[in-house]
Protein backbone atom coordinates (compact mmCIF):
# COMPACT_ATOMS: atom_id res chain seq x y z
CA UNK A 1 0.00 0.00 0.00
CA UNK A 2 1.41 3.41 -0.94
CA UNK A 3 2.01 6.18 1.60
CA UNK A 4 -0.77 8.25 0.01
CA UNK A 5 -3.24 5.40 0.50
CA UNK A 6 -2.13 4.93 4.11
CA UNK A 7 -2.70 8.61 4.85
CA UNK A 8 -6.34 8.23 3.75
CA UNK A 9 -7.13 5.30 6.04
CA UNK A 10 -9.61 6.03 8.86
CA UNK A 11 -7.00 5.02 11.46
CA UNK A 12 -4.87 8.05 10.53
CA UNK A 13 -7.73 10.54 10.87
CA UNK A 14 -8.19 12.51 14.08
CA UNK A 15 -11.89 12.09 14.83
CA UNK A 16 -11.77 14.74 17.59
CA UNK A 17 -14.83 13.11 19.19
CA UNK A 18 -16.72 15.29 21.66
CA UNK A 19 -19.84 14.53 23.71
CA UNK A 20 -21.93 17.53 24.70
CA UNK A 21 -25.04 18.16 26.75
CA UNK A 22 -27.30 21.24 26.77
CA UNK A 23 -26.58 23.88 29.44
CA UNK A 24 -28.03 23.18 32.88
CA UNK A 25 -31.29 24.98 33.44
CA UNK A 26 -31.77 25.58 29.73
CA UNK A 27 -35.31 25.21 28.50
CA UNK A 28 -35.80 21.85 26.86
CA UNK A 29 -37.19 21.43 23.39
CA UNK A 30 -40.93 21.90 23.45
CA UNK A 31 -42.91 18.92 22.13
CA UNK A 32 -44.69 19.57 18.88
CA UNK A 33 -47.87 17.92 17.58
CA UNK A 34 -47.66 15.21 14.92
CA UNK A 35 -49.29 17.65 12.49
CA UNK A 36 -46.04 19.63 12.55
CA UNK A 37 -44.37 16.86 10.54
CA UNK A 38 -47.13 16.63 7.92
CA UNK A 39 -46.54 18.52 4.69
CA UNK A 40 -49.17 20.94 3.49
CA UNK A 41 -50.42 20.84 -0.11
CA UNK A 42 -48.37 23.99 -0.85
CA UNK A 43 -45.20 22.38 0.51
CA UNK A 44 -45.82 19.21 -1.52
CA UNK A 45 -46.30 21.30 -4.67
CA UNK A 46 -43.09 23.22 -3.95
CA UNK A 47 -41.13 20.00 -3.46
CA UNK A 48 -42.54 18.55 -6.67
CA UNK A 49 -41.64 21.66 -8.68
CA UNK A 50 -38.15 21.59 -7.19
CA UNK A 51 -37.66 17.97 -8.26
CA UNK A 52 -38.98 18.70 -11.75
CA UNK A 53 -36.59 21.63 -12.05
CA UNK A 54 -33.63 19.48 -10.99
CA UNK A 55 -34.56 16.76 -13.48
CA UNK A 56 -34.91 19.24 -16.33
CA UNK A 57 -31.53 20.76 -15.46
CA UNK A 58 -29.95 17.32 -15.58
CA UNK A 59 -31.62 16.46 -18.87
CA UNK A 60 -30.49 19.72 -20.46
CA UNK A 61 -26.95 19.47 -19.12
CA UNK A 62 -24.23 18.19 -21.48
CA UNK A 63 -23.46 14.49 -21.22
CA UNK A 64 -20.53 13.69 -18.92
CA UNK A 65 -18.64 10.50 -18.33
CA UNK A 66 -18.30 9.05 -14.85
CA UNK A 67 -14.65 10.04 -14.88
CA UNK A 68 -15.56 13.65 -15.65
CA UNK A 69 -18.16 13.74 -12.86
CA UNK A 70 -15.69 12.26 -10.37
CA UNK A 71 -13.07 14.84 -11.36
CA UNK A 72 -15.57 17.68 -10.86
CA UNK A 73 -16.60 16.29 -7.46
CA UNK A 74 -12.95 16.14 -6.33
CA UNK A 75 -12.47 19.76 -7.37
CA UNK A 76 -15.53 20.85 -5.36
CA UNK A 77 -14.36 18.73 -2.42
CA UNK A 78 -11.12 20.70 -2.23
CA UNK A 79 -13.18 23.59 -0.85
CA UNK A 80 -14.50 21.44 2.01
CA UNK A 81 -11.92 18.71 2.72
CA UNK A 82 -13.28 18.08 6.21
CA UNK A 83 -16.78 17.44 7.51
CA UNK A 84 -18.05 17.83 11.07
CA UNK A 85 -21.07 15.74 12.01
CA UNK A 86 -23.19 16.31 15.11
CA UNK A 87 -25.40 13.37 16.08
CA UNK A 88 -28.35 14.15 18.35
CA UNK A 89 -29.65 11.37 20.59
CA UNK A 90 -33.06 11.05 22.24
CA UNK A 91 -31.57 11.78 25.69
CA UNK A 92 -30.44 15.21 24.48
CA UNK A 93 -26.73 14.37 24.23
CA UNK A 94 -24.84 15.42 21.11
CA UNK A 95 -21.93 13.46 19.65
CA UNK A 96 -19.58 15.51 17.48
CA UNK A 97 -17.17 13.74 15.11
CA UNK A 98 -14.73 14.91 12.43
CA UNK A 99 -14.38 13.17 9.05
CA UNK A 100 -12.73 13.62 5.70
CA UNK A 101 -15.38 14.67 3.18
CA UNK A 102 -14.20 11.86 0.90
CA UNK A 103 -15.12 9.18 3.48
CA UNK A 104 -18.19 7.03 2.94
CA UNK A 105 -21.54 7.14 4.74
CA UNK A 106 -20.77 3.57 5.88
CA UNK A 107 -17.75 4.94 7.79
CA UNK A 108 -20.03 7.43 9.53
CA UNK A 109 -22.23 4.55 10.70
CA UNK A 110 -19.21 2.49 11.79
CA UNK A 111 -17.70 5.29 13.89
CA UNK A 112 -21.02 6.06 15.59
CA UNK A 113 -21.59 2.36 16.24
CA UNK A 114 -18.20 2.15 17.98
CA UNK A 115 -19.40 4.71 20.56
CA UNK A 116 -22.61 2.85 21.49
CA UNK A 117 -23.23 0.87 24.64
CA UNK A 118 -24.84 -1.88 22.54
CA UNK A 119 -22.84 -1.97 19.32
CA UNK A 120 -25.18 -4.52 17.71
CA UNK A 121 -28.03 -2.01 17.98
CA UNK A 122 -29.86 -1.36 14.73
CA UNK A 123 -30.24 2.33 13.94
CA UNK A 124 -30.68 4.90 11.21
CA UNK A 125 -29.29 8.39 10.76
CA UNK A 126 -31.79 10.99 9.60
CA UNK A 127 -31.18 14.46 8.20
CA UNK A 128 -33.85 17.08 8.96
CA UNK A 129 -36.64 17.02 8.21
CA UNK A 130 -36.81 13.30 7.29
CA UNK A 131 -34.06 12.29 4.87
CA UNK A 132 -32.62 8.87 5.75
CA UNK A 133 -28.93 8.30 5.09
CA UNK A 134 -29.08 4.90 3.38
CA UNK A 135 -26.59 5.02 0.47
CA UNK A 136 -23.59 3.52 2.27
CA UNK A 137 -21.06 3.81 -0.58
CA UNK A 138 -21.78 7.52 -1.07
CA UNK A 139 -19.18 10.04 0.11
CA UNK A 140 -20.13 12.45 2.88
CA UNK A 141 -19.64 15.27 0.39
CA UNK A 142 -21.96 13.73 -2.18
CA UNK A 143 -24.52 12.99 0.55
CA UNK A 144 -24.69 16.73 1.21
CA UNK A 145 -23.13 16.53 4.69
CA UNK A 146 -20.06 18.72 4.06
CA UNK A 147 -18.80 20.92 5.62
CA UNK A 148 -21.03 20.42 8.70
CA UNK A 149 -24.36 18.73 9.38
CA UNK A 150 -26.70 17.75 12.20
CA UNK A 151 -28.25 14.28 12.07
CA UNK A 152 -30.69 12.48 14.35
CA UNK A 153 -29.98 9.01 15.73
CA UNK A 154 -33.07 6.81 15.40
CA UNK A 155 -32.75 3.46 17.14
CA UNK A 156 -34.89 0.48 16.19
CA UNK A 157 -37.69 -0.13 18.68
CA UNK A 158 -37.33 -3.40 20.55
CA UNK A 159 -39.28 -4.97 23.36
CA UNK A 160 -36.30 -4.80 25.70
CA UNK A 161 -35.46 -1.10 25.35
CA UNK A 162 -34.54 -0.12 28.90
CA UNK A 163 -31.30 1.81 28.41
CA UNK A 164 -31.61 5.52 29.09
CA UNK A 165 -28.46 6.39 27.14
CA UNK A 166 -27.27 5.02 23.79
CA UNK A 167 -23.60 5.93 24.32
CA UNK A 168 -21.19 3.66 26.17
CA UNK A 169 -19.92 4.55 29.66
CA UNK A 170 -16.57 5.50 28.14
CA UNK A 171 -18.18 8.31 26.16
CA UNK A 172 -20.68 9.28 28.83
CA UNK A 173 -17.69 10.03 31.07
CA UNK A 174 -16.49 12.57 28.50
CA UNK A 175 -19.65 14.71 28.47
CA UNK A 176 -18.98 18.44 28.32
CA UNK A 177 -21.67 20.93 29.15
CA UNK A 178 -22.37 23.34 26.32
CA UNK A 179 -22.00 27.01 27.38
CA UNK A 180 -24.98 29.32 27.37
CA UNK A 181 -24.86 31.50 24.23
CA UNK A 182 -25.96 34.64 26.16
CA UNK A 183 -24.11 33.93 29.40
CA UNK A 184 -21.86 36.96 30.10
CA UNK A 185 -21.50 36.66 33.87
CA UNK A 186 -18.35 38.24 35.29
CA UNK A 187 -17.21 35.45 37.53
CA UNK A 188 -13.81 35.28 39.25
CA UNK A 189 -11.12 33.17 37.56
CA UNK A 190 -11.09 29.54 38.64
CA UNK A 191 -8.02 27.34 38.70
CA UNK A 192 -7.88 24.69 35.98
CA UNK A 193 -8.06 21.86 38.53
CA UNK A 194 -11.20 23.07 40.29
CA UNK A 195 -12.75 24.19 37.02
CA UNK A 196 -12.20 20.73 35.50
CA UNK A 197 -13.75 19.06 38.54
CA UNK A 198 -16.71 21.46 38.41
CA UNK A 199 -17.27 20.75 34.70
CA UNK A 200 -17.12 17.02 35.33
CA UNK A 201 -19.67 17.32 38.16
CA UNK A 202 -21.98 19.52 36.09
CA UNK A 203 -21.75 17.18 33.12
CA UNK A 204 -22.56 14.18 35.31
CA UNK A 205 -25.52 16.01 36.80
CA UNK A 206 -26.82 17.14 33.44
CA UNK A 207 -26.91 13.55 32.18
CA UNK A 208 -29.14 12.56 35.09
CA UNK A 209 -31.39 15.59 34.59
CA UNK A 210 -31.86 15.14 30.85
CA UNK A 211 -35.38 14.12 30.02
CA UNK A 212 -35.81 11.51 27.31
CA UNK A 213 -37.44 12.96 24.26
CA UNK A 214 -39.97 11.02 22.24
CA UNK A 215 -39.02 10.27 18.66
CA UNK A 216 -41.83 11.41 16.30
CA UNK A 217 -44.11 8.61 15.17
CA UNK A 218 -43.26 9.17 11.49
CA UNK A 219 -39.68 8.19 12.33
CA UNK A 220 -40.73 5.11 14.28
CA UNK A 221 -43.10 3.70 11.69
CA UNK A 222 -41.71 1.69 8.84
CA UNK A 223 -38.08 2.77 9.10
CA UNK A 224 -36.82 -0.70 9.89
CA UNK A 225 -39.21 -2.76 7.77
CA UNK A 226 -37.32 -5.02 5.39
Query: Are the CB atoms for 95 and 112 separated by under 8 Å?
Result: yes
Residue 128: pLDDT band (50, 70, 90) is confident
Residue 221: pLDDT band (50, 70, 90) is low
pTM over 0.75: no
**Alpha carbons 222 and 161: distance in angstroms, whole number:** 18
218 vs 102, more confident: 102
Q: What is the pLDDT of residues 176-190, one digit of tens each?
A: 988 876 644 444 444
**Alpha carbons 109 and 100: distance in angstroms, whole number:** 14
What integer best gives the mean pLDDT of the chain?
75
Residue 137: pLDDT band (50, 70, 90) is very high
For the chain, what percent of residues have pLDDT higher than 90? 40
As assigned by CATH, the class of the 11-21+66-158+165-179+196-219 domain is: alpha beta
Q: What is the pLDDT of residues 24-43, one digit of tens each?
A: 765 554 554 555 556 677 77
**Alpha carbons 196 and 190: distance in angstroms, whole number:** 9
Q: What is the pLDDT of residues 146-167, one digit of tens each?
A: 999 999 999 887 666 667 899 9
Residue 112: pLDDT band (50, 70, 90) is very high
25 vs 207, more confident: 25
Amino acid sequence: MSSSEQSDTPASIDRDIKVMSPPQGAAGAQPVPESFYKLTSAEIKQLYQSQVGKRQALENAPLKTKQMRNAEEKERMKKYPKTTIRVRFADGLILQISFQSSEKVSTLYDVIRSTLKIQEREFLLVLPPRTQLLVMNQTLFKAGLAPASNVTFVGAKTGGDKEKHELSDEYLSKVQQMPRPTDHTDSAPVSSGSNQASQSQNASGSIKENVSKTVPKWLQKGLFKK
